Structure 1
């Protein structure tokens, strides 16, 4: 159960259901409020029409006992003077707002003008001043109850003032039943209470099905990734759906990652195999010489043992540097002057087969590791020494925002078809460009890796000209 509730489908269905429920509750509440307000306004309008109709009859001088009053069930009407005496009321009206209607004291004709002795404290400054035969324009609305023929119901009352032709001011109170409004609002509320759960069930079900269909390719990707992990077969690929949505892009990105991982693992396997092969030869040679020296000390080839040891040391250093580069080691951010580095490196190469000639050395500093860039220069010079006939030349130039270091020899040059292959690890060309057994085939690969990690490039431009381009620092 917890697995189901923790799935993406369950969370999506629950989230959609909650959002829809909140939206429906808010919309339903707004509908009920608007509907109730509209129906109350309609009831108030009907009550106002009934009150004005009765007030108009009074203003024209019609006797109170002759007033044409509407049916009490729909519009209960009570006419009272300024002292509260009921002058007229509907036949079935028993009480209004809790006050009983005393029919025995109802006026039988016009209320008539009030005498001087009738003046009392009931008058106040808020009494509307009307002329005889006038009806007040403003209407006061109130909600209350009325007892009509023994049934108490809610009504909306319209209350206004009027004066008869004798100058007597009366209050006309007419009501309109709120029962239809209450019934309508109650019906809508009941329909919402019944329909809301059903609609939420439909929303949850549809969301569940749609999410399940949308996530089906993801489950296929997950299953295939699990199978690849279990089998360690990196040549397999996850299924790519035909859709161009996020899932399709995820599948394509996953396959690209698997391809890169497969290539990396294959390159690592070749690296280990080639390194083992390269290490086997100097180690075997050194062991043989040492065993011969133990048995016959006079036959020990000390220079040869030293040469094998140096070769083994260099190879180990190259492998260690490649391992650090493959691990993503970032170069230092020191400022390095290539011209000064060329002078220093050339001054130390006194035992080279071909003297190094120094050309133009333009100024310009680059950012990076002094030791790694020195390793690049040393590898390029070693490569030139290995293939040169009589000349090795190095120069530094400035090309806009780049500092360019060129190492050139007068050897046979690199065939155009091999100019990228020579930068692969453990690659050595045939005797067409070889004067000795050379190194392990790692020098140029290391040089290009270092150049790229410094934001630059290393390439063969023409024949045997190696060009290192690095961005100017800062």
Structure 2
């Protein structure tokens, strides 16, 4: 249903009971006005000379305008009328007839034609009320009776009954006057005219929203004015900005995924090709019955270890670079993490004749964090120490815990180390492409980038410094939960 039609129907639905109420009020006021006019005219008539005529001939005094009346019981239309004389019926009344009858202080009339006063009217009049009004209807006529107390309290004309007979009209006084009936029509007309500009603005806003959606929310939605339609346009504009932000994030994630797949293929295929070459060499020597070359076996193990570490790093990088990492925080035992990392790297360390050692407190040191990310960060530091260490060298993992509930994890090696300028550059580097994935000195960029990001997620500090043994010392420190 269109907006204009809906509002027009709403106005009509509200106006109909309003018009009915106004008609009822008008009808009530008209009836009240009729009773007041009849009371005032009766008092004025009696004070203008009718009192003397009434008191001079109370048995026959009666006034009327119009045709002869048809008196009935006052306030009791179902009661049979009092007869006029022996066996004579009361005269018939006609439309617009006004009659007056006189009563004494006890509400008794000496005129046999006067209507009988009902008990309810008698009770109200004798209580001191200046007038008593009763309305009845019968045989298609409405009857208005007003019993008026005269300023004098004695004599046969202490009360005067004014009776008005008229054809009975429609319920509630019939149709309201034209000015009342015009209210709903004027309201509907004003509503239709006033809604014209608003409907046009809503249609224009609908067109702009559709155009923005068809352009993948590049086209803006105009915000004009300062009303509810403006608020709606502003809400659409805010929704458009949010959708654009979500689309840009989605495109960034998709681009990161494409880059991840491309770089993974490139980075994994190089060591995998080298590993295949080593395995082919070993296979040829086995076929010839030659003894295995320990150097070839060691190189093959190193390539396999590198591939495993690279795959773990690529997965962690994709998880961290895609936006908010879905870290699952829980209690993490750093002692157990160090034990698992050393167990994973011990075979390759022995192959390269590097002593991999550790020193941890007897009591478990626990932190609140994501165990997978923490283990990958520690593994990256240990891998760098082994991968870039010297033969017959050492890599030590030392975990310290203070009374202030802070931990300090140090990975120390005695390898060639990294110049201070290179250390600062590696700490500032972000994962952005192949430059951070090479296997040379810059190859530490991926692992250290992941470690630095994990530290930021957990609120820890990561520092790189020259070790006292000539190599590199990497330190992770932060609060503990034990």
Which interval holds the TM-score relative to the shorter structure?
A: 0.5 to 0.7
- Structure 2 partner of 1:419: 427
Taking structure 2 as the reference length, what is the TM-score of the superposition? 0.64
User: Is residue 89 from structure 1 mapped to residue 64 from structure 2 by the alignment?
Assistant: yes
- Whether the 8 Å CA contact 1:339–1:396 is kept in 2: the answer is no
**Shift, 1:252, TM fit:** 2.1
Structure 1 stretch 291-300 or stretch 267-276: which is displaced more?
Answer: 291-300
User: Is residue 310 from structure 1 mapped to residue 310 from structure 2 by the alignment?
Assistant: no
**Shift, 1:222, TM fit:** 0.8
**Shift, 1:33, TM fit:** 1.0
**Shift, 1:38, TM fit:** 4.1
State the SS of the aligned residue for 1:127: helix
- Whether the 8 Å CA contact 1:240–1:252 is kept in 2: the answer is no
- Whether the 8 Å CA contact 2:130–2:149 is kept in 1: the answer is no
State the SS of the aligned residue for 1:167: coil
- Structure 1 partner of 2:149: 162
Q: 2:219 aligns with which of 239, 243, 264?
A: 239
State the SS of the aligned residue for 1:283: helix
**Shift, 1:264, TM fit:** 1.9
- Structure 2 partner of 1:4: none
Map Cα deviations across residues 239-289 of structure 1 (whole Å, 9 max, x no partner).
234538122222222322232223222222221221111122122223334
State the SS of the aligned residue for 1:367: strand
1:206-221 alignment, distance < 5 Å: 206-221=197-212
State the SS of the aligned residue for 2:50: coil
- Whether the 8 Å CA contact 2:35–2:133 is kept in 1: the answer is no
- Structure 2 partner of 1:137: 130
Taking structure 1 as the reference length, what is the TM-score of the superposition? 0.65
Map Cα deviations across residues 185-225 of structure 1 (whole Å, 9 max, x no partner).
15246435645665565567555422112233311221112
Q: Which runs of 5+ in 2 are unaligned?
A: 82-89, 224-232, 467-471
State the SS of the aligned residue for 1:309: helix
**Shift, 1:137, TM fit:** 1.8
1:191-340 alignment, distance < 5 Å: 191-192=182-183, 194-195=185-186, 198=189, 201-202=192-193, 206-225=197-216, 238-241=218-221, 243=223, 245-292=234-281, 297-298=287-288, 301-320=296-315, 330-332=326-328, 334-339=330-335
- Whether the 8 Å CA contact 2:212–2:221 is kept in 1: the answer is no
* Separation in 2, partners of 1:420, 1:86: 122
- Structure 1 partner of 2:226: none
State the SS of the aligned residue for 2:122: coil
**Shift, 1:47, TM fit:** 2.7
User: Is residue 127 from structure 1 mapped to residue 119 from structure 2 by the alignment?
Assistant: no
- Structure 2 partner of 1:29: 17
1:392-411 alignment, distance < 5 Å: 394-396=398-400, 405=409, 407=411, 411=418
- Structure 1 partner of 2:178: 187
State the SS of the aligned residue for 1:160: strand
Q: 1:444 aligns with which of 429, 448, 452?
A: 448
Task: Specify whether residues 213 and 361 from structure 1 end up closer, same or farther in structure 2 by C-alpha distance, changes over 3 A only.
Answer: farther
State the SS of the aligned residue for 2:218: coil
Task: Specify whether residues 52 and 269 from structure 1 end up closer, same or farther in structure 2 by C-alpha distance, changes over 3 A only.
Answer: same
- Whether the 8 Å CA contact 2:23–2:173 is kept in 1: the answer is no
Map Cα deviations across residues 343-394 of structure 1 (whole Å, 9 max, x no partner).
6756886647365575889975323444542232121222344557877564
Give RMSD over aligned pairs: 5.4
- Whether the 8 Å CA contact 1:289–1:305 is kept in 2: the answer is yes
Q: How many residues align?
A: 420
